[in-house]
Amino acid sequence: MKQDPRVKLYNHWAASYDGQIETGSASISFEGYDQVLDEALTLAQTIEGMKILDLGTGTGNLAARFLASGCEVWGIDFSAEMIARAKAKLPNLHIVKADINNKVWPKDLDRRFDRVVSSYALHVFDLQSKIRLLSRIFEKYLSLNGQIVIADIAYRNQNARAQAQVYWGRLWSDDDYYWSADETISACRNVQLTCNYHQVSSCAGVFVIKKL
C-alpha cells in the first residue's frame, strides 16, 4: 500500500524537527516558535489536573508544557516517527496514531477534555475544513466551558497575509492555508463560536475559541 505523501514527509522530518527549532534553521514560519507555544500555554489558563487533547502532537513540544503544568495530556498524530520521539521525551503522554482530519477518531479519545490545543498543525487545512473540525470538537470532545487554543502560522488579516506572501516569494508554501484572523473570527461566528486572536511573532499567533 502506497504511503500518504504527507505521512512520509513528517516521518522524514521527525529526526531533524527539534534540532531545526533549537538552531533556528527551521522554516521562516517558525520565527518566535517558543514564545508562541508559551503564549498558548498562558492563554489556555489551565489548572493542575485538567485533561488536555493536543492535535498534531508532533515531537511533543506543546504537550510538554501542559504536562509540566500538571495536566493530563492526550495527543493525536498520524506520523509514527513523530509519535516515537514524543513518547521518548514524554513518557506520561497518552498518544494515539490517527489523522486529525478523519471523521472518526480512535475510541481511546472518546472522552471530554477541558482544553483542546494544537501547534503548527492545522494550517494544512483550508478554512472550511478548519471550521468543520472546530465545530466537531465542541460537539464531541470538549467539556462544558471548555475551549480550543491554537498556536499556528497566522496573520491579523487577509491583507497582512497577502503582504507576507509577496515578501517571502518562492519560500511561501502554496500547499498550506495559513490562518487569517479576520476571516477566522467571522467564520467562527457563523457557527456560534467566539474567537480571539493574539499575534506573537511576525508570522504566528494564538487563537482562543469558545462557545458563544
pLDDT-derived band of residue 33, with 50, 70 and 90 as boundaries? very high
CATH class label, 5-211: alpha beta
* Mean pLDDT, residues 16-33: 83
pLDDT tier at 1 (50, 70, 90 boundaries)? low
Residue-wise pLDDT for 115-132, tens only, equals 999 999 999 999 999 999
> Count of CB atoms within 10 A of residue 24's CB?
9
The residue ranges of every structural domain in the chain are 5-211
**What's the distance, CA 119 to chain centroid?**
3
- In this prediction, residue 5 carries a pLDDT of 78
Question: How far is residue 17's CA from residue 9's CA, in Å, rounded to a whole number?
Answer: 11
Q: How many CA atoms lie within 13 A of 9 on its CB side?
A: 4
What's the average model confidence in pLDDT over 102-121? Answer: 96
Residue 211: pLDDT band (50, 70, 90) is: very high
The confidence band for 174, taking pLDDT boundaries of 50, 70 and 90, is: confident
Q: How far apart are CA 39 and CA 119, in angstroms?
A: 11
Banded pLDDT at 4 (limits 50, 70, 90): confident
pTM of the model: 0.95
Mean pLDDT, to the nearest integer, of 200-212? 96
Decide: 94 and 75 in contact? Cβ < 8 Å: yes
So what's the pLDDT on residue 51? 98
CA angle 11, 84, 61 (to 5 degrees): 90
DSSP code string of 87-102: HHH-TT-EEEE--TTS
